[in-house]
């Protein structure tokens, strides 16, 4: 079990002249602080050539740190910025957590109004680019690799939920936040960041954050945040990994556009195997693949209480626990949720949608995997689930 708080060795001193005001930073100990100059040098002045991605929170650059270590350097965008103390407190917590299936945070930079996070660099990009990227897929994921990825992500999430104290709810489990190292070991990224970032930084902890298509309806609509919201998102991701397609795809016939709807329909017809990625050319264990899809359905049931814990999910995936679908209920369907959101938008509520590169305020049925949603609903953290 990993417990905080905060009695770890100091890796660097934060001098007050580095900060934009005189906030009290006592109690912040374990965060490696990089200077802006150092990171600028590492990224060749944040050059376009070194830019490796752009998300809702800002741009990510590859950089070589002093000593030769490669890093992914995430420069948070202006609207993501928040108070130094709050930022560092969060980083302090995250930097203490280590697990084979979590991205490692090396440290951060908080000079003047810059907020930069420094992570270990992962060679094989994210699942959204390499597995769900359609014709742009650069890697072939055989069945064994997919199984290892599913178990790895589940283990990382079980660790955050059940071993770390206090538990951490990721709030944005999705394919683009699952990065892959050189051996295709999955690493969950951006944990804790959902709490730090969304648009109105002073109220982030009370706002719903996440990505459309992966958001549990009770959290998106009611603002009720529990571990079960992550488990719902994991269920969607699991079905994506087995099927090799994103949760929403407007190019498919209408009845196949939403992956959960399609999975439920095939489950009822006892034809789940039809959902397995055809690019596997039949080279997979059909019984195991259907079992994984059933676990995805268990995780996305409408009632949060019916969803299994992540440690049970790990056991089911590895075969240590049977998958009992005798009382399985219909998933909370994304299409129902989207209907509701469309209405909300039409009524000019505070719902607000943004993508990584542009903002828009109506839902289309185009692929939604990069859409981030925030709403003004008050999130409550319920420890009972």
Residues tagged in the binding site annotation for ATP: 74
From candidates 43, 80, 177, 368, binder to Mg ion by CB under 5 A: 177
* Interface segment toward Mg ion; rule CB under 5 A; list 11-19, 37-45, 53-61, 328-336: 53-61
Number of other CB atoms surrounding residue 77 within 10 Å: 16
Is 249 among the residues that bind Mg ion (CB under 5 A)? no
The residues, ordered by sequence, that sit 6+ positions from 121 with a Cβ below 8 Å of its Cβ are: 62, 70, 71, 72
The answer to the question of residue 61 lying near ligand ATP (CB under 6 A) is: no
356 binds, options Mg ion, ligand ATP, none, Cβ within 5 to 8 A by partner type: ligand ATP
Contact 61, 45 (CB under 8 A): no
Residues 217, 374 contacting (CB under 8 angstroms): no
- Residue 327 phi, psi (nearest 5): -115, 20
Nearest distance from residue 179's CB to Mg ion, in Å?
Answer: 8
Provide, rounded to whole angstroms, the least separation between the CB of residue 301 and ligand ATP. 25
Which among Mg ion, ligand ATP, none contacts residue 235 (Cβ within 5 to 8 A by kind)?
Answer: none
Our CA angle for 265, 266, 268, nearest 5°, is: 65
Give the burial class of 14: count Cβ atoms within 10 A of its Cβ; 0-12 exposed, 13-18 middle, 19 or more buried. middle
Structure tokens at 362: 């109506």
**Segment contacting ligand ATP by CB under 6 A, of 17-25, 171-179, 270-278, 339-347:** 171-179
Segment 337-341 long-range contacts (CB within 8 Å, at least 24 positions apart): 337/215, 337/217, 337/220, 337/221, 338/212, 338/363, 338/365, 340/221, 341/212, 341/220
Q: Which of 42, 43, 55, 180 binds Mg ion (CB under 5 A)?
A: 55
In the annotation, is 172 catalytic? Answer: yes
Would you count residue 257 as binding ligand ATP (CB under 6 A)? no
- Torsion angle (degrees, nearest 10) of CA 93, 95, 98, 104: 140
Select the residue whose beta carbon is closest to ligand ATP and give its number: 55
Query: DSSP alpha helices (H): ranges in 269-383?
Result: 286-299, 310-318, 334-346
Size of the site for ligand ATP (CB under 6 A): 23
263 binds, among Mg ion, ligand ATP, none (CB under 5 to 8 A by kind): none
Q: Which is nearer to ligand ATP, 127 or 293 (CB)?
A: 127
Question: Does 119 participate in binding ligand ATP (rule CB under 6 A)?
Answer: yes
Q: Is 122 an interacting residue with respect to ligand ATP (CB under 6 A)?
A: yes
Query: Smaller CB distance to Mg ion: residue 190 or 230?
Result: 190
Q: Which residues of 255-294 are buried (b: 16+ CB within 10 A; e: fewer)?
A: eebbbbbbbbebbeeeebeebbbeebeeebeeeebbbbbb
DSSP bridge pairs for 120: 71
End-to-end CA distance of the chain: 18
Q: Using CB under 5 A, which of the segments 128-136, 173-181, 247-255, 330-338 binds Mg ion? A: 173-181
Residue position matching structure tokens 């209920």? 329
Tell me which DSSP letter residue 159 carries. Answer: I
The site map against ligand ATP for 74-113 (x = CB under 6 A) is x----------------------------x----------
Residue 53 touches which of ligand ATP, Mg ion, none (CB < 5 to 8 A by kind)? ligand ATP
x-marked contacts with Mg ion along 178-197 as a string, rule CB under 5 A:
------------x-------
Please give the residues from 272 up to 331 whose contact with ligand ATP meets the rule CB under 6 A: none
Residue closest to Mg ion when measured from CB atoms: 190
Sheet hosting strand 208-211, strand order edge to edge: 208-211, 372-375, 352-354
Can you tell me which of 80, 95, 126, 312 binds ligand ATP, judged by CB under 6 A? Answer: 126
Please tell me which residue in 142, 172, 277, 382 is annotated as part of the active site.
172
The residue among 50, 31, 187, 22 whose CA lies nearest residue 120 is 187
Does position 149 bind ligand ATP by CB under 6 A?
no
Q: Which residues are catalytic?
A: 172
Residues that bind ligand ATP (CB under 6 A): 52-57, 60, 72, 74, 103, 119, 121-122, 125-126, 129, 176-177, 179, 189-190, 356, 372
């Amino acid at each position: 079990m990993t417990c905080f708080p905060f009695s770890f060795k100091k890796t660097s001193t934060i001098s007050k002249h580095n900060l934009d005001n005189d906030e009290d930073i006592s109690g912040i100990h374990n965060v490696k602080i990089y200077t802006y100059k150092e990171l600028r040098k590492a990224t060749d002045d944040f050059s376009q050539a070194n830019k490796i991605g752009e998300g809702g929170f800002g741009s990510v650059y590859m950089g070589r740190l002093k000593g030769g270590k490669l890093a992914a350097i995430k420069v948070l965008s202006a609207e993501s910025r928040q108070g130094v103390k709050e930022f560092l407190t969060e980083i302090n917590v995250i930097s203490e957590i280590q697990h084979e299936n979590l991205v490692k945070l090396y440290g951060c930079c908080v000079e003047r109004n810059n907020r930069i996070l420094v992570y270990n660099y992962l060679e094989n990009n994210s699942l959204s680019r390499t597995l769900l990227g359609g014709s742009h897929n650069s890697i072939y994921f055989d069945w064994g690799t997919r199984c290892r990825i599913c178990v790895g992500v589940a283990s990382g999430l079980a660790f955050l939920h059940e071993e770390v104290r206090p538990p951490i709810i990721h709030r944005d489990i999705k394919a683009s936040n699952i990065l892959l190292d050189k051996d295709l070991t999955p690493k969950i990224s951006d944990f804790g960041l959902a709490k730090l970032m969304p648009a109105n930084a002073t109220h982030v902890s009370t706002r719903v954050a996440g990505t459309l298509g992966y958001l549990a309806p009770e959290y998106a609509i009611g603002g009720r945040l529990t571990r079960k919201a992550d488990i719902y998102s994991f269920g969607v991701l699991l079905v994506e990994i087995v099927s090799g397609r994103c949760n929403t795809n407007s190019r498919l016939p209408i009845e196949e556009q939403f992956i959960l709807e399609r999975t439920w329909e095939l489950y009822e017809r006892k034809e789940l195997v039809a959902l397995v990625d055809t690019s596997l050319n039949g080279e997979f264990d059909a019984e195991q693949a259907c079992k994984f899809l059933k676990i995805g359905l268990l995780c996305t049931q409408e009632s949060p209480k019916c969803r299994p814990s992540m440690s049970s999910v790990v056991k089911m995936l590895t075969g240590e626990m049977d998958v009992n679908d005798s009382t399985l209920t219909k998933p909370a369907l994304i299409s129902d949720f989207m209907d509701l959101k469309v209405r909300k938008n039409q009524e000019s509520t505070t719902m607000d949608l943004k993508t990584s590169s542009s903002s828009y305020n109506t839902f289309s049925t185009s692929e939604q995997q990069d859409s981030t949603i925030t709403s003004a609903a008050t999130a409550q953290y319920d420890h009972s689930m």
